[in-house]
Chains A and B, each alone.
Chain A
Amino acid sequence: MSGTKITGDPDWALDADGHLINVDAWTQGFAQAIADQEGWVLNQDHWWLIDFVRDYFQTYGNPPLMRTVIGAYRTHKDDPSLGSASLYQLFSEHPIRQACRLGGLPKPDWCI
């Protein structure tokens, strides 16, 4: 996927892992374009997750742990029963990594 672009903006070049190379070029339109390409329909919860991961990354320099996202998602939904399964309902594979990709963040270079 290296060198490929997402239709919509000349700055939306992707790296080999499908992540936006120029993080400053991110807009919601980029996330929507990726989602359209993948056939995903983004709802408010998807956007909450993308925004949360982006905010966390900008504050701490790395994506949040799953446990952190789950805790925040419970608060967001006011539902203490929610667990990781609810995030996998948003993205069936690697929800945080997918949120990084749609959020214009680099692929995490760690294994956590």
Chain B
Amino acid sequence: MTIKTQPGFNMRPGSVVVLRVSPSHHRFASALECIEQLVKKGYGVWVFLHGPAVGPWLEHMPPAFVRWAEDDAVTVSVCQAAWHRSIRDASDQNPSGQTSAWVYPESSLIQMWQRILQAERVDVFGGGLWPSDWPEPKMDARGAYGVMIAYEADEADQLSQLEWVLAGSALELDLVVAFAHPELKPSRGPNAARWGQLLDHKLASVISKPQDMPTQVRFWMVL
């Protein structure tokens, strides 16, 4: 199998597709369809697997991933932190198990953000959809980057969402984090303290009411 280390970004307009669901989630198929459509439209697509998309299922590559490994238009990359945690967790459960046969390149969340900043188009397939009780977003190139937390995540997933935000903040981007409903904001346990650093250290704006939605946002990424 040919393993690409560089996407076809130099020849094609760049697109980023972030996949944050596993194959069992109904949005997984939508993401694959989106990638196929982007390729047909002439995009070079950098696919980043993050959070819940990273798990043991990656050992058995879906046919589309195998096909894309031979396609210069698509590069699949996995979040290195999530992947190493997945390996560690699998090793803890089965210490004598086989080592990983993973062949896709690993990338950091910093690299994901850098790709996003350069891309002409960004699509995020996570567990949430834009909340119906929030106004339809309007894009404005002068605004911040918006991250909408739109579903109830488990503890590990909450951490992956926070790391997404912190990586953008590490690049000193202007960020606004919206919780679709106040109860989605971690309020107890270690994750509540972790999320607290965003406000304590002015790393991002945090809102949880539609009326607080900023008028100027470059684009929203719905996780």
Q: Of B84, B170, B194, which contacts A112 at CB under 8 A?
A: B170
B35 at the interface (CB under 8 A from A): no
Question: B193 → chain A, closest Cβ, in Å?
Answer: 6
Q: Are B85 and A60 in contact (CB under 8 A)?
A: no
Within 8 A of A (CB), among B179-223: 190, 193-194, 196-197, 201, 203
A66 at the interface (CB under 8 A from B): yes
Residues of chain B within 8 A of A64, CB atoms compared:
197, 201
Do most interface residues of chain B lie in helix, strand or loop, or is the interface mixed? helix
Q: Are B201 and A61 in contact (CB under 8 A)?
A: no
A to B contact number (C-beta, < 8 Å) = 48
B110 at the interface (CB under 8 A from A): yes
Residues of chain B within 8 A of A60, CB atoms compared:
193-194, 196-197
Interface membership of chain B positions 73-109, coded 1 if the CB is closer than 8 angstroms to chain A and 0 otherwise:
0000000110011000000000000000000000011
Question: B48 → chain A, closest Cβ, in Å?
Answer: 12
The bracket for how many chain A residues form the interface is 10 to 19
The bracket for how many chain B residues form the interface is 20 to 34
**Which of A61, A65, A66, A110 has its CB near the most chain B CB atoms (within 10 A)?**
A110
Closest to A58 in B: B193
Question: Assuming A61-B190, A65-B203, is B166 touching A112 (CB within 8 A)?
Answer: yes
Q: Of A61, A66, A67, A71, which contacts B194 at CB under 8 A?
A: A61
Q: Are A65 and B193 in contact (CB under 8 A)?
A: no
| A64→B190 CA distance, assembly (Å) | 16
B36 at the interface (CB under 8 A from A): no
Residues of chain A within 8 A of B84, CB atoms compared:
109
| A71→B167 CA distance, assembly (Å) | 17
Interface membership of chain A positions 50-93, coded 1 if the CB is closer than 8 angstroms to chain B and 0 otherwise:
00000010011110111110010000000000000000000000
Q: Of B109, B166, B193, which contacts A59 at CB under 8 A?
A: B193
| A109→B197 CA distance, assembly (Å) | 18
Q: Of A62, A67, A110, A111, which contacts B172 at CB under 8 A?
A: A67
Question: Assuming A109-B81, A111-B81, A112-B110, is B194 touching A65 (CB within 8 A)?
Answer: no
| A45→B203 CA distance, assembly (Å) | 24
Interface membership of chain B positions 148-189, coded 1 if the CB is closer than 8 angstroms to chain A and 0 otherwise:
000000000000000100110110100000000000000000
Closest to A69 in B: B201
Residues of chain B within 8 A of A67, CB atoms compared:
169-170, 172, 203
Question: B80 → chain A, closest Cβ, in Å?
Answer: 6
| A60→B190 CA distance, assembly (Å) | 8
Q: Are B194 and A111 in contact (CB under 8 A)?
A: no
Interface membership of chain B positions 106-141, coded 1 if the CB is closer than 8 angstroms to chain A and 0 otherwise:
001110000000000000000000000000000000
Residues of chain A within 8 A of B85, CB atoms compared:
109
A-B contact pairs, 6 of them (CB 8 A): A59-B197, A64-B197, A67-B169, A67-B170, A68-B197, A112-B108
- Residues of A in contact with B (beta carbons under 8 Å apart): 56, 59-62, 64-68, 71, 109-112
| 3 shortest interchain CB distances as A-B pairs | A111-B108, A110-B81, A60-B197
Q: A60-B197, A67-B203, A111-B80 are in contact. List 15 more A-B contacts (CB 8 A).
A: A56-B197, A59-B193, A60-B194, A62-B197, A64-B201, A65-B169, A65-B170, A109-B85, A110-B109, A111-B81, A111-B108, A111-B109, A111-B167, A112-B109, A112-B163
